Amino acid sequence: MKKPFIQSPMLFDRARAVPVPSRHASSPASCAPAESRKRLAWAATLLAAAGLLYAGLAGTAHAQLPPVETAQGIEYVSGGIGSDVSAAFKAAKSSYPLALTFAAVGEDGSTPYVADVRLEIANEQGESVLSLPSVGPYLLAKLQPGTYTVRATYKGKTQTEQVKVGGPGSVDVRIAWKRPAVGPD
């Protein structure tokens, strides 16, 4: 006669008895699956938050200014093409005494940014302190406090601005040229 199989609440692992939780509602171990789901949900939330944090930091890493350059003893940064770099320039304006932005105004009211602006900055004595082409729509310069004349030339048209520079973030000038109408001749 065969002995009936009786399920034991114990499993044996290498000669050591390990209790197996009962699946009956009256047992305190019945909460284990719910606890496990909570832990899994919590872990998934933490993992998702870590991924978002990493993505945010990685995005910030791409939004860096071009390297600082020096011309005539003045440190400057020029560029800003692309939304990430443009955002980096906007964020860095407060760290530079002079911030220039170049744009063209269309008849429809649009103001696209422009690059390849020839820039000449002179001090109160009329001496050139910075002369260079801007490689993008933004130029940030670390000028000493004082009054300067900014001459910006785009497509043969020059605009002149007088600026009084103080500490970092003191002057933010937007220079815009009227853009010719585009359409059929």
**Both 46 and 91 in a single domain?**
no
> Does the residue 4 lie in any domain?
no
* Higher pLDDT among residues 160 and 182, named by residue: 160
Cα separation of 166 and 147, whole Å? 9
* Higher pLDDT among residues 142 and 48, named by residue: 142
CA 86, 152, 177: angle at the middle one, nearest 5? 75
> Does the residue 42 lie in any domain?
yes
Look up residue 95 and give its two tokens.
Answer: 């760290």
**Both 54 and 101 in a single domain?**
no
Lowest mean pLDDT among 21-25, 72-76, 77-81, 174-178: 21-25
pLDDT in tens, 14-56: 555 555 555 554 444 445 677 777 776 666 665 665 555 444 4
**Both 45 and 120 in a single domain?**
no
**Both 89 and 161 in a single domain?**
yes
Nearest to 178 by CA among 101, 103, 115: 103
Task: Please give the average per-residue pLDDT across 60-81, as a whole number.
Answer: 85
**Both 100 and 31 in a single domain?**
no
Task: Please give the average per-residue pLDDT across 67-82, as a whole number.
Answer: 93
Residues with Cβ within 8 Å of residue 24, at least 6 apart in sequence: 30
**Both 143 and 90 in a single domain?**
yes
Confidence of residue 62 (pLDDT cuts 50, 70, 90): very low
Number of domains in the chain: 2
Checking DSSP bridges between strand 128-134 and strand 117-122, what pairing results, if any?
A: antiparallel
Cα separation of 178 and 155, whole Å? 11
The domain containing residue 123 runs over which residues?
69-178
**Is residue 104 over pLDDT 90?**
yes
**Both 105 and 152 in a single domain?**
yes
> Does the residue 3 lie in any domain?
no
**Both 57 and 74 in a single domain?**
no
**Both 138 and 170 in a single domain?**
yes
Task: Output the pTM of the full model.
Answer: 0.63
> Does the residue 8 lie in any domain?
no
Could you tell me if 161 and 175 are in contact, meaning their C-beta atoms sit under 8 angstroms apart? yes
Edge-to-edge order in the sheet of strand 171-178: 69-71, 74-79, 138-141, 98-105, 171-178
**Both 91 and 156 in a single domain?**
yes
**Is residue 102 over pLDDT 80?**
yes
Task: Please give the average per-residue pLDDT across 85-96, as a whole number.
Answer: 92
pLDDT at 34: 72
* CATH number of the structural domain spanning residue 125: 2.60.40.10
DSSP assignment of 100-168: EEEEEE-TTS---B---EEEEEE-TTS-EEEEEEESSSEEEE-PPSEEEEEEEEETTEEEEEEEEE-ST
Cα separation of 72 and 128, whole Å? 9
**Both 135 and 172 in a single domain?**
yes
**Is residue 59 over pLDDT 60?**
no
